[in-house]
Chain A
Amino acid sequence: MAEKRLMQGNEACVAGALAAGMDFFAGYPITPSTEIAELAAEYLPQRGGRFIQMEDEIASMGAVIGASLTGRKAMTATSGPGFSLKQENIGYAAITEVPCVIVNVQRAGPSTGIPTAPAQGDVMQARWGTHGDHPSITLSPSSVEETFGLTLRAFNLAEKYRTPVILLLDEIVGHMREAVILPAEGTVEVIDRVKPVCSPAEYRPYDAAMGETAPMPDFGSGYPYHVTGLTHDREGFTTSKPAEVDFIIRRLHSKIEMHLADILQWEEIATEDADILLVAYGATARSAKAALKMARKQGVKVGLFRPLTIWPFPEAALTQVAKGKQVIVPEMNLGQIALEVERIIKAEVSGVNQVDGEPLNPAKILQAIMVGSEVSR
Chain B
Amino acid sequence: MSSLADKYLRGHKMPHIWCPGCGNGIITHAVLRAIDQLQWERDDIVIVSGIGCSSRAPGYLDFNTLHTTHGRALAFATGVKHGNPRLKVIVLTGDGDCAAIGGNHLIHACRRNIDITAIVYNNSIYGMTSGQFSPLTPTGSLATTAPYGNIDRAFDLCDLATAAGASFVARSTTYHANHLRDMIVHGLQNEGFSLIEAMTHCPTYFGRRNRIGGPVEMLKMQQEQAIPVQRAASMTQEQLEGKYLIGELHNQQMPEFCALYEQVIQKAGGGNQR
Contact = CB atoms under 8 A, between A and B. Distances in A.
Contacts of A88: 69
B37 interface: no
Contacts of B272: 48
Contacts of A50: 82-83, 261, 265
Interface in B17-74: 42-44, 46, 48, 58-59, 62-69, 72
B223 to A, nearest CB: 35
Interface in A55-93: 55-56, 58-72, 74, 88-89, 92
A238 B58 CA distance: 12
A203 interface: no
Given A59-B104, A224-B42, A66 B86 contact: no
B79 interface: yes
Interface stretch (A112-120, A150-158, A178-186, A225-233): A225-233
A294 interface: no
Given A88-B69, A89-B69, A47 B78 contact: no
Contact of B274 (A48, A61, A64, A69): A48
B105 interface: yes
Contact of A92 (B68, B87, B274): B68
A229 B78 contact: no
Contact of B268 (A45, A74, A229): A45
Contacts of A46: 268-270
Contacts of B69: 62, 88-89, 92, 229
Contacts of B79: 24, 26, 52, 62-70, 74
A220 B270 contact: no
Contacts of A89: 69, 72
A237 interface: yes
A69 B83 contact: yes
Contacts of A42: 268
Contacts, number: 150
B16 to A, nearest CB: 12
A173 B39 CA distance: 53
A66 B78 contact: yes
Given A45-B265, A48-B273, A88-B69, A55 B83 contact: no
B229 interface: no
A54 B43 contact: no
A23 interface: yes
B264 A226 contact: no
Contacts of B84: 70-72, 218-220
Interface residues of B, number: 45
A49 interface: yes
B59 A69 contact: no
A299 interface: no
Given A47-B270, A48-B273, A224-B62, A59 B78 contact: yes
A222 interface: yes
A219 B87 contact: yes
Interface size class of A (residues with CB under 8 A): 35 or more
Contacts of B82: 24, 26, 50, 52, 63, 66-67
A311 B107 CA distance: 38
A15 to B, nearest CB: 17
A70 B104 contact: no
B264 A45 contact: yes
A63 B48 CA distance: 12
Nearest to B46: A219
A52 B111 CA distance: 14
A130 to B, nearest CB: 11
Interface in B68-123: 68-69, 72, 75-84, 86-87, 104-105, 107-108
Nearest to B73: A62
B7 to A, nearest CB: 13
Interface string A202-221: 00000000000000001111
Nearest to B101: A58
Contact of B78 (A63, A68, A71): A63
B271 interface: yes
B267 interface: yes
B83 A72 contact: yes
Interface in B208-237: none
A49 B264 CA distance: 10
A339 to B, nearest CB: 30
A65 B77 CA distance: 9
Instruction: Kindly list the 7 A-B residue pairs having the minimum CB-CB distance in the complex, ordered from nearest.
Output: A66-B79, A48-B273, A62-B75, A63-B79, A67-B83, A70-B83, A45-B268
Given A67-B80, A70-B79, A220-B87, 19 more contacts: A47-B273, A49-B270, A50-B83, A52-B78, A55-B108, A58-B72, A59-B104, A59-B108, A65-B76, A66-B48, A67-B79, A69-B83, A72-B83, A74-B83, A92-B69, A219-B64, A220-B43, A221-B43, A225-B65
5 contacts: A47-B274, A63-B82, A66-B78, A224-B65, A225-B64
